[in-house]
């Protein structure tokens, strides 16, 4: 098992430069929505993880992209999740706010998961996500050209309320291994309130496939490896290879290597009152944007 996982990781790392060449000039809308520390927040894109733990919990999350650039993507999330019926099922409630320039989305979704025991060691959970989204884009506020020539496509703002959101997910796991698959947004909302040409097709059927293994190290130390593949219609596959080291004293450190030419370093600390605090920073290597930052 260990040898196979090492071979997979080596193969993915060798393919990173090729994936980077294919990704140049592409816009990864679904990437900046992910928590940087997604390895410990898998419920953010897979509802099957909700209620998997033996206690209820709250999650407060903020991701700021391209620090120093005005109107850069911003993601904020507040979630509550709890197990029910001896952890065989769970429920969750999520508030998520996404800003990209003057484009804004506000999600209110609920999650439900149910667990099946396959044998003495292996389990399978299914998840369902349903909710609504409020979308707005103030197109009239954009300054398109230096000479202020009007554009017919930017003469009206877009405001849509209570559009539907639907998603599904599943995860197979045991004490050391997990395999996860999810499609958080299945419905294609076409924004037909006051604009019939605007579509959310880029958000349709984005699939997240993830797998990992927990290795025991010296003493109480553990290493959790993870490989994440993200694919959507008309875009190249995004690959994220991650590793998290759990140290004694409720301290953990992680690192991610990504096919879009960046890497991430993270850290978390668990307090005695079950409060966990974490921070992560993402750094672009191939696509350097520092000259655009202020």
For residue 28, what pLDDT is reported?
Answer: 42
- Specify the pLDDT at position 232: 78
pLDDT in tens, the chain (294 residues): 445 444 444 444 444 443 333 333 334 455 666 777 777 778 888 999 998 887 888 888 888 877 767 777 888 888 888 998 777 899 999 998 888 878 888 889 999 999 999 998 999 999 999 998 888 877 777 777 777 677 776 777 777 777 788 899 999 999 899 999 998 887 656 555 445 555 544 445 688 999 999 999 888 899 999 999 988 777 788 899 999 999 987 888 989 888 877 888 888 888 877 778 888 888 777 665 655 554
The predicted structure's pLDDT at residue 111: 94
Domain range summary for the chain, segments of one domain joined by +: 2-292
**CATH architecture type of domain 2-292:** Beta Barrel (2.40)
DSSP 59-124: EEEEEE-STTSTT--EEEEEEEEEEETTTTEEEEEEEEEEEETTEEEEEEEEEEEEEEE-SSS-EE
pLDDT of the residue at 179: 93
Question: CA 78, 182, 134 angle in degrees (round to 5)?
Answer: 45
74 and 83 Cβ atoms separated by less than 8 Å: no
H or E element: which one contains 128? strand 123-137
Contact 61, 40 (CB under 8 A): no
Half-sphere exposure of residue 170: CA atoms within 13 angstroms, side-chain side: 4
pLDDT of residue 9: 43
């Amino acid at each position: 098992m260990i040898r196979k996982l090492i071979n997979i990781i080596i193969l993915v790392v060798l393919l990173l430069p090729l994936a980077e060449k294919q990704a140049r000039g592409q816009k990864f809308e679904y990437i900046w929505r992910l928590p940087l520390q997604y390895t410990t927040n898998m419920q953010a894109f897979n509802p099957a993880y909700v209620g998997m733990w033996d206690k209820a919990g709250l999650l407060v999350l903020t991701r700021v992209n391209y620090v120093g650039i005005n109107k850069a993507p911003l993601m904020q999330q507040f979630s509550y999740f709890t197990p029910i019926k001896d952890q065989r099922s769970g429920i969750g409630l999520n508030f998520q706010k996404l800003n990209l320039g003057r484009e804004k989305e506000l999600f209110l979704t609920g999650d439900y998961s149910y667990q099946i025991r396959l044998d003495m060691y292996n389990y399978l959970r299914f998840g369902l996500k349903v909710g609504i989204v409020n979308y707005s884009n103030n197109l009239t506020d954009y300054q398109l050209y230096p000479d202020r020539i009007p554009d017919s496509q930017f003469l009206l703002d877009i405001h849509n309320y209570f559009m539907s959101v639907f998603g599904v997910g599943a995860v197979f796991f045991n004490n050391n291994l997990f395999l996860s698959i999810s499609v958080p947004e299945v419905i294609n909302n076409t924004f037909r309130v006051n604009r019939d040409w605007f579509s959310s097709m880029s958000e349709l059927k984005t699939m997240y496939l993830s797998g990992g293994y927990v290795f025991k190290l010296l003493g109480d130390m553990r290493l959790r490896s993870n490989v994440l593949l993200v694919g959507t219609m008309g875009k190249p596959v995004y690959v994220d290879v991650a590793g998290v080291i759990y140290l004694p004293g409720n301290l953990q450190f992680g690192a991610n290597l990504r096919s879009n030419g960046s890497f991430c370093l993270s850290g978390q600390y668990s307090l005695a009152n079950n409060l966990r605090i974490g921070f992560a920073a993402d750094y672009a290597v191939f696509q350097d944007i520092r000259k655009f930052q202020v």
